[in-house]
Amino acid sequence: MTVLNRRRGDAKTPPDGQPNRRSLRKVLVANRGEIALRIVRACRELGIRSVAVYSDADVHAPHVREADEAVNIGPAPAAESYLRGDHLIAVALEVGADSIHPGYGFLAEREWFARAVRDAGLVWIGPPAEAIAAMGSKTAARTLAIAAGTPVVPGTTEPLRDTAEALKLATEFGFPVLLKAAAGGGGKGMRIVREASEVESALASAQREARNAFGDDAVYIEKYIEGPRHVEIQVLADSHGNCVSLGERECSIQRRHQKMIEESPSMAVTPELRERMGAAAVAAAKAAGYVNAGTCEFLLDAEGNFYFLEMNTRIQVEHPVTELVMGVDLVQWQLRIAAGEALTFTTSPEPRGWAIECRITSEDPANGFLPSTGRIDYLHLPSGPGVRWDGGIENGSVVGLSYDPMLAKLIVFAHTRELAITRMERALRELVIVGVETSREFHLRVMADEDYRAGRVDIQWLEQRLPKLLAQRPPAETVAAAAIAAALLADRDQRGRARTGGSLSNGQAAGANGKGVGARAGADGASGERSSSWSELARREALRNG
C-alpha cells in the first residue's frame, strides 16, 4: 500500500547519552477494554499521542473516547477486527503512528505480528519477535531455562516419540506424570497420568488435543507436582542490557486456568526466596534475549522448591498489584523501554504493603460461571483510600459475547494483607453493577473465607472450595439490592425511556448496599422528579421484599 503522512520518531540522542523518550510520538493501541484504556492513560502521562482502534461493537467504548484518535477496524468478531494484524499495521502507517502496543491477548504473543510490525518500520512495544518465539515453545523455553541455571520441573525437552518412550520416562521420573503440549498454554493438551496403564491413551488424547488446538502434536513429559502454588515473577529488561525482577505475584486462585484473584507479595515467599526466584527469572529472561516487560511463571511447592514453567512475553492482566507494591509504572516503562530509554534502577525494589486484585467478569458464579450479556444500566464505582479501578465499561456499555468476559479489575492497596482484604471487602460493597451478572458476590465470599484469609491456598484450592462458596445464602443486602435494581429498571421501562432489553431478568443478583443505591439514585438521575421517584420506588421495593 501507499504510505501517506508517515512520520518517524526523531530518535535523537540528547547530550546525556540517553535516547530521547520522545522518539515515541504516537502509539497505535491494538487492543480494547480496560488494557487499551490503561495504555492510553500511560501514553497521555508521557506526552505521547494515542490512537485507539475499535470494532463495530466498541464504537462507544471508553478507550475510544479517551484516545487522541480512533479508527474503526471492522465487525465485532475479533477475527475480523482486533486479530487482523496486516490491517492494524496499515492503519498505524496511515495515521502516522510510529509504534504499536498490543496489550495482552489478541496479537500480543504472535511472533509473526511482532516481526511484521518491525518490518513495517514501526516500533513494537513488547519483546523481540525472537524472544516471543523462544518462549512460545514450552520445550524451547525449558531448554533456555536449563541453560540459564533456572530450575525446571524434572522432565524432557524433546517431544515424546511413542508410548514406549513415554512409559520408560514416566517410570524414571515416577508417577504421577504430566503430559504437556510443546505449543501449549492454558492447560490445553495436558494430561495427568497416575499409572502405567493410562500412558497409551493419555498420550494419544494429549497429542490429538494439541494438534487440534495448535496444529502441532508435539507432547513432552514432566513429573507432576501435587498441590503447588502458582507464583510468577515480573521482570523489566531494557535494550542496554539491564534486567531487573520486580517481585512476585501469587496467582493460585484460578478456575479452569482462568485467574480470578491475584496479590503481591505472596504469603509463601520470604525475602530470601524472592531474591532466588528473582535471580532465576532474570537469568531465564537474559537467556532469551528479553527486552521489555515479561513474566516468568513458577510452581512453588509446599517445601519451598520452585520450578520454572513458562514465560509470558506480554504485559499481564494482573500487572497492577506489582505496580502498587513496587511503586513502578509497568506500562510507562514498556513505552520508555521501547523508546530506547535505560532503566533508572538496576536493583530490585522491596515490596511495600500489600495489593490484591479481583477480576470483575460478566459471568454468573451461581450458574456455572456462564457468561452474562446485557447493557450496563447502572454502574457505581468504588473509590476512597487505596482503591484502584482499571475498567473498560461505563454506564450504557453493552456486554456481548464477542470478547473476553473480564469487564474490569478492582485493585486495592493497604499496609498489610489483612487490611488489604478488609479494604477489598469495603470496595466490593461499594461497587454496583446493574444489567449483567458479575463475579462481585463471588469475590466477597472469597474475601470472607477462612482459608483465603489465612493464605492457605494452592492451584487446586478454588475448584475444591467452590461448592462451599456457592452454597452460601446470599447476604440480605444482595437480596435487597436485587429488588432495588428490579425496581429501578421497572420504573424506567414504565416510563418508556431507555429500553433495557433482556436486562430486567438479568439484573436479579446485581448487588450492593441497598441503602446506598437508593440514596445515590437521587444524585444520579437526570431530573429531580424522576430520580426522587426512583429512590422512592426502590425503597418501597426493598421494604416489600426484605
Question: Which of these, 29, 56, 53, lies nearest to 41 by C-alpha position?
Answer: 29
Distance CA 181, CA 188 (A): 7
Cβ–Cβ contacts within 10 Å for residue 68, how many? 15
Q: Does 178 bind ligand MV4 (CB under 6 A)?
A: yes
| CB of 221 vs ligand MV4, minimal distance in Å | 9
501 dihedral zone (left: phi>0; alpha: psi -120 to 50; beta): left
Nearer to ligand MV4, 176 or 522 (CB): 176
**Binding segment for ligand MV4 among 65-73, 208-216, 223-231, 498-506 (CB under 6 A)?**
223-231
Which member of 67, 203, 309, 482 binds ligand MV4 (CB under 6 A)?
309
Which member of 225, 277, 291, 331 binds ligand MV4 (CB under 6 A)?
225
Q: Which residue has the cell 452454597?
A: 471
Distance CA 5, CA 31 (A): 23
Question: Which of these, 263, 260, 322, 258, lies nearest to 453 by C-alpha position?
Answer: 263
Q: Does 230 bind ligand MV4 (CB under 6 A)?
A: yes
Which member of 47, 187, 327, 385 binds ligand MV4 (CB under 6 A)?
187
Nearer to ligand MV4, 52 or 231 (CB): 231
Beta bridge pairs of residue 295: 234, 312
| CB of 265 vs ligand MV4, minimal distance in Å | 18
Nearer to ligand MV4, 257 or 495 (CB): 257
**Binding segment for ligand MV4 among 46-54, 222-230, 513-521, 528-536 (CB under 6 A)?**
222-230
C-alpha torsion 335→299→112→35, nearest 10: -40
Nearer to ligand MV4, 222 or 477 (CB): 222
| CB of 100 vs ligand MV4, minimal distance in Å | 27
Nearer to ligand MV4, 189 or 435 (CB): 189
Count CA within 13 A, CB hemisphere, residue 376.
22
**Binding segment for ligand MV4 among 124-132, 216-224, 237-245, 347-355 (CB under 6 A)?**
216-224
| CB of 463 vs ligand MV4, minimal distance in Å | 9
Question: Which of these, 435, 429, 427, 543, lies nearest to 488 by C-alpha position?
Answer: 435
Q: Does 48 bind ligand MV4 (CB under 6 A)?
A: no
Q: Does 160 bind ligand MV4 (CB under 6 A)?
A: no
| CB of 363 vs ligand MV4, minimal distance in Å | 18
CB 205 within 8 A of CB 179: no
Q: Which residue has the cell 533456572?
A: 150
Question: Which of these, 300, 248, 312, 301, lies nearest to 274 by C-alpha position?
Answer: 248
**Binding segment for ligand MV4 among 25-33, 54-62, 218-226, 341-349 (CB under 6 A)?**
218-226
Distance CA 393, CA 412 (A): 19
CB 76 within 8 A of CB 56: yes
**Reduced to 3 states, what is the DSSP secondary structure of residue 483?**
helix
| Catalytic-residue membership of 314 | yes
Count Cβ atoms within 10 A of the Cβ of residue 534 and give its class: 0-12 exposed, 13-18 middle, 19 or more buried. Answer: buried
Nearer to ligand MV4, 315 or 484 (CB): 315
- Exposed e or buried b per residue across 307-318, where buried means at least 16 C-beta atoms within 10 angstroms of its C-beta: bbbbbbbbbbbb
**Binding segment for ligand MV4 among 219-227, 241-249, 277-285, 521-529 (CB under 6 A)?**
219-227
CB 95 within 8 A of CB 4: no
For residues 454 to 493, the per-residue mask of contacts with ligand MV4, x marking binding by CB under 6 A and - elsewhere, is -----x----------------------------------
Which member of 224, 298, 369, 461 binds ligand MV4 (CB under 6 A)?
224
Q: Give the count of residues interacting with ligand MV4 (CB under 6 A).
A: 14
Q: Which residue has the cell 511495600?
A: 352
Nearer to ligand MV4, 224 or 378 (CB): 224
Nearer to ligand MV4, 273 or 504 (CB): 273
The catalytic residue among 49, 191, 314, 492 is: 314
Which member of 150, 254, 334, 513 binds ligand MV4 (CB under 6 A)?
254
Grid coordinates of 446: 472469597
| CB of 176 vs ligand MV4, minimal distance in Å | 9
Nearer to ligand MV4, 157 or 422 (CB): 157
> Residue ranges of the alpha helices (H) in 153-288?
163-173, 199-214, 271-287
| CB of 225 vs ligand MV4, minimal distance in Å | 4
Q: Which residues bind ligand MV4 (CB under 6 A)?
A: 153, 178, 187, 222-225, 230, 254, 257, 299, 309-310, 459
**Catalytic residue ranges:** 314
